[in-house]
Amino acid sequence: MAAPGSELERLVGIMQRLRAEGGCPWDREQDLRSLRPYLTEEAFEVLDEMDRVSEGGPWHPLCDELGDLLFQIVFHAQLAAELGEFTMADVCKAISDKITRRHPHVFGDEQVKGAEQVLSNWAKLKADERKRKTGRAGSVLDGVPTAAPSLLRAERLTEKASRIGFDWPDLAGVRGKLDEELRELDEAIAAGGRDAIEHELGDVLFSLANLARFVKTPAEDALRMATRRFVTRFQYIEARLNEENVPFGGATLEHMERHWQAAKAEEKALP
Q: Which residue has the higher pLDDT, 127 or 223?
A: 223
Residues 15 and 96 in one domain: yes
Q: What is the pLDDT of residue 134?
A: 81
- Checking if the pLDDT of 233 tops 70, the result is yes
Q: Which residue has the higher pLDDT, 130 or 263?
A: 263
Whether 109 is in a domain gets the answer no
Residues 213 and 238 in one domain: no
Whether 181 is in a domain gets the answer yes
CA distances from 174 to 165, 197, 206, 221 (A): 15, 21, 11, 19
User: Over the chain, what is the mean pLDDT?
Assistant: 92
Domain total in the chain: 3
Full-model pTM: 0.70
CB 17 within 8 A of CB 23: yes
Say which CATH number the domain at 22 has: 1.10.287.1080
Q: What is the pLDDT of residues 154-178, one digit of tens each?
A: 999 999 899 888 999 999 999 999 9
CB 224 within 8 A of CB 47: yes
CB 155 within 8 A of CB 219: yes
Q: Which of 204, 264, 212, 219 lies closest to 237, judged by CA?
A: 264
Q: Residue range 85-107: average pLDDT?
A: 94
Q: Residue range 119-132: average pLDDT?
A: 82
- Checking if the pLDDT of 271 tops 70, the result is no
Residues 202 and 246 in one domain: no
CB 12 within 8 A of CB 88: yes
CB 236 within 8 A of CB 263: yes
- Checking if the pLDDT of 110 tops 70, the result is yes
Residues 47 and 95 in one domain: yes
Collect all residues with Cβ–Cβ distance below 8 Å to 189 and sequence separation of at least 6.
Answer: 197
- Could you tell me what percent of the chain has a pLDDT over 90? 74
CB 70 within 8 A of CB 62: no
- The number of beta carbons lying within 10 Å of the beta carbon of residue 213 is 20
Residues 193 and 258 in one domain: no
Domain assignment of residue 242, given as a range:
221-269
